[in-house]
């Protein structure tokens, strides 16, 4: 007989380790991606910006496809296996494919790189988060209690990746590939495929069809959710893209500013880690909609204060709020989607309505934001973005649907139910 408690604990440990290794794998290499493009590939600022823009386009295209596949296969791990294998190719891809292509034929290298990084990271991390959300609801756990290990994985890799990069970036790439192989092995031992063989409150035996995707676009709730993402989440993520450049201006030297930014980034990762532990209890109490509204208020506060302050201490205190925002928005968004959208399309809704929409913001908002930084300065641009986030937060109090769902009892597989009785 199977002990359901031990089975659940074992599955939690294995999936948490998988999540940790996933972000560790990509943080060890991709965390220094922009620097590598300039230092090793020899690209200028315009070319680097173009690379990120094309990466964003591919991410927008591939994420909905991953979402559809996730809804089609349920708790089967085929897509995650594929993502692991792509990640394991990190070292050979960077060294023998990507760098030579960028040097010999920039456009070809840029397109091939965008495809690789979208399959492995941009869409891959979204698929991993969607799988983690389903897992947590099936086992009656909190998503944040698993997702917090991703923050620890990123912080762990970041703590030494810069030092190793200064020796040779190839060391970083090799560590990433080895970690990805470990991640693949952990995933092999994770046994949750028994779910989905029968109807439950998380998975449907009636699988998604392409018509269900088009039906989302006819759903008013989809567009009110998208409005929130465009008005609030876009401001959050776009402002963070170049926040490091603004942050260092508060200090007497660039070196001092860079050092302090590194320290505060570590604090931010710790804030996200502990936020993932505590935020679920808050969102369960106030509801997913109010959690999203609270996220908007925190984003507005951070951006408005960033635009108004001239004090280095204040800007240091403001930066870690981004970690709280990440925890709040992820937990709230997953709970909101679970309540208001058919369980057949949960993954598609997350990767299309949230993840893909966020990357659309990189295409739509990043250029005018960059123009604002150059013409009116970071402080005025952040102030405007904070006010926009506050405005759309207010609008969303009226347009987002109310959340009334209580937490469901755990979904215990039939064979484990027999063990209990």
Look at residue 139 in the predicted model and tell me its pLDDT.
83
Beta-carbon contacts of 106 under 8 Å, excluding residues fewer than 6 positions away, are: 43, 47
**pLDDT digit string (tens) for 226-247?**
999 999 999 999 888 778 778 8
CA pair distance 141, 159, nearest whole angstrom: 29
Least confident of 102-111, 156-165, 323-332, 394-403: 156-165
Fold of 208-402: Growth Hormone; Chain: A; (1.20.1250)
Q: Is the pLDDT of residue 260 over 50?
A: yes
Please state the length of the chain: 421
Structure tokens at 277: 């532990």
CA pair distance 38, 302, nearest whole angstrom: 30
Query: Global pTM?
Result: 0.84
Q: How confident is the model at residue 7 (pLDDT cuts 50, 70, 90)?
A: confident
Q: Is the pLDDT of residue 290 over 60?
A: yes
Backbone angles phi, psi at 295, to 5 degrees: -60, -45
Mean pLDDT of the region 372-400? 94
Least confident of 187-201, 217-231, 254-268, 338-352: 187-201
**Domain limits, the chain:** 1-204, 208-402
Instruction: Give the residue from 163, 146, 194, 157 showing the smallest Cα distance to 334.
Output: 146
CA pair distance 262, 183, nearest whole angstrom: 27
Judge contact between 147 and 132, C-beta under 8 A. yes
Question: Do 208-402 and 1-204 have the same topology in CATH?
Answer: yes
**pLDDT digit string (tens) for 102-114?**
999 999 999 999 9
Q: Is the pLDDT of residue 279 over 80?
A: yes
Least confident of 84-88, 120-124, 196-200, 251-255: 196-200
Alpha-carbon distances of 210 from 4, 65, 123, 345, rounded to whole Å: 36, 11, 19, 10
Q: What angle do CA 46, 48, 49 make, to 5 degrees?
A: 65
Helix, strand, or coil (residue 320): coil
Least confident of 76-90, 201-215, 306-320: 201-215
Q: Is the pLDDT of residue 278 over 90?
A: yes
Encode 141-171: b = buried (16+ Cβ within 10 Å), e = exposed: bbbbebbbbbbbbbbbbbeebeebbeeebeb
Domain 1-204 has CATH 1.20.1250.20: yes
Helix, strand, or coil (residue 89): coil
Look at residue 238 in the predicted model and tell me its pLDDT.
87
CA pair distance 66, 123, nearest whole angstrom: 7
Mean pLDDT of the region 201-217? 82
End-to-end CA distance of the chain: give it in Å, rounded. 11
Question: What torsion, rounded to 10 degrees, do the Cα atoms 315, 232, 380, 303 define?
Answer: -10
């Amino acid at each position: 007989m199977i002990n359901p408690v031990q089975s659940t604990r074992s599955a939690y440990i294995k999936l948490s380790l998988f999540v940790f290794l996933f972000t560790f794998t990509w943080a060890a290499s991709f965390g220094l991606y922009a620097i590598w493009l300039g230092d090793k590939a020899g690209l200028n600022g315009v070319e680097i910006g173009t690379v990120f823009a094309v990466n964003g386009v591919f991410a927008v295209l591939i994420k909905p496809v991953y979402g559809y596949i996730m809804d089609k296969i349920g708790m089967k791990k085929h897509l995650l296996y594929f993502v692991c294998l792509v990640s394991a190719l990190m070292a050979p891809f960077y060294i023998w494919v990507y760098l030579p292509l960028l040097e010999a034929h920039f456009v070809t290298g840029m397109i091939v790189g965008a495809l690789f990084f979208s399959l492995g990271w941009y869409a891959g991390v979204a698929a991993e988060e969607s799988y983690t959300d389903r897992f947590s609801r099936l086992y009656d756990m909190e998503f944040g209690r698993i997702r917090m290990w991703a923050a620890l994985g990123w912080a762990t890799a970041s703590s030494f990746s810069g030092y190793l990069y200064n020796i040779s970036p190839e060391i970083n790439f090799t560590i990433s590939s080895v970690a990805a192989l470990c991640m693949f092995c952990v995933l092999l031992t994770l046994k949750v495929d028994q779910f989905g063989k029968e109807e439950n409150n998380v998975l449907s035996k009636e699988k998604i069809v392409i018509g269900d995707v088009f039906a989302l676009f006819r759903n008013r709730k989809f567009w009110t959710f998208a409005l929130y993402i465009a008005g609030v989440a876009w401001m959050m993520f776009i402002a963070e893209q170049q926040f490091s450049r603004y942050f260092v201006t508060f200090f007497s030297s660039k070196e001092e500013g860079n050092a302090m930014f590194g320290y505060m980034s570590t604090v931010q990762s710790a804030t996200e880690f502990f936020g993932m532990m505590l935020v679920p209890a808050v969102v369960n109490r106030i509801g997913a909609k109010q959690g999203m509204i609270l996220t908007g208020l925190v984003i507005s506060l951070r951006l408005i204060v960033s635009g108004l302050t001239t004090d280095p201490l204040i800007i240091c205190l403001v930066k870690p709020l981004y970690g709280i925002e990440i925890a709040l928005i992820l937990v709230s968004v997953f709970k909101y989607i679970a309540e208001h959208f058919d369980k057949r399309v949960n993954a598609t809704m997350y990767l299309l309505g949230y993840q893909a929409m966020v990357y659309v913001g990189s295409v739509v908002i990043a250029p005018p934001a960059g123009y604002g930084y150059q013409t009116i300065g970071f402080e005025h641009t952040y102030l405007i973005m904070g006010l926009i986030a506050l405005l759309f937060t207010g609008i969303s109090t009226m347009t987002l649907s109310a959340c009334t769902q209580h937490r469901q009892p755990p979904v215990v597989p039939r064979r484990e139910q027999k063990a209990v009785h």
